[in-house]
Amino acid sequence: MLDQLQDLLLILIGSSLVSNVVLSQFLGLCPFLGVSKKVETAAGMGTAVIFVITLSSAVAGVIYKYALVPLNITYLQTIVFILVIAALVQFVEMVLKKYMVSLYNALGVYLPLITTNCAVLGVALTNVQKKYGILAGTVNGFATALGFTIAIIILAGIREKMAYNDVPESFKGMPVVLITAGLMAIAFCGFSGLSLK
């Protein structure tokens, strides 16, 4: 039991900080760069990503373990995971629209955007590749989404501060954002010194 908790903690730290999905694996860059202009919208996107990636990791893990493996059709995992993610996002969107209108309005366009976020599929495939069980895969999904949220909120905070700075004309706009993201990636390399399995 203690070993399992230790393994889950290592997955949590490793996936959120050491192997940050955006800054070290370069997945989910489109929403990372596009939705990070304000901290408020970045936090909304991060919350939606945490919810969807955690839920899709659990559902994809169950389908993989109890459907794809017993039927010996694991070669269809990518197609099945894409369908699961798309269906799950649509289902979540319908439920929120019907029962939680204020949350649905707050998330706005961010929820459908998550369907096209490659990080969601990347987590499901990573869970299979690393042979995580359903619980470990769900923790990995949560930790990955948490790392995405941390990175996008930090970038949004920096971008809000940069709006008031005097930036050379050739660096205005996306060039300075890409430089900032690169510096953040270098800073996150400092977490690689953590001893993980």
How far apart are the C-alpha atoms of 135 and 141, rounded to whole Å? Answer: 10
pLDDT digits (tens, 9 = 90+) for 133-152: 999 999 999 999 999 999 99
Say if residue 108's pLDDT is above 90.
Answer: no
How far apart are the C-alpha atoms of 181 and 30, rounded to whole Å? Answer: 12
pLDDT at 167: 82
Rg (CA), the chain: 18
pLDDT at 196: 53
Residue in 166, 125, 140 with CA at minimum distance from that of residue 54: 140
Contacts of residue 175, defined as CB under 8 A and 6 or more positions apart, other chains included, come to none
Q: How many C-beta atoms lie closer than 10 Å to residue 140's C-beta?
A: 27
* Contact indicator for 158, 180 with CB cutoff of 8 Å: yes
* Contact indicator for 32, 159 with CB cutoff of 8 Å: no
- Altogether, the residues listed in the chain come to a count of 197
pTM of the model: 0.88
For 89, the token pair is 């996002």
- State the average pLDDT for the chain: 88
Contacts of residue 60, defined as CB under 8 A and 6 or more positions apart, other chains included, come to 80, 81, 84, 85, 124, 127, 137
Q: How many C-beta atoms lie closer than 10 Å to residue 165's C-beta?
A: 7
List Cα–Cα distances, 118 to 60, 134, 175, in angstroms.
15, 20, 23
pLDDT at 60: 93
The residue behind tokens 């969601």 is 120
Q: How many C-beta atoms lie closer than 10 Å to residue 54's C-beta?
A: 21
pLDDT at 40: 87
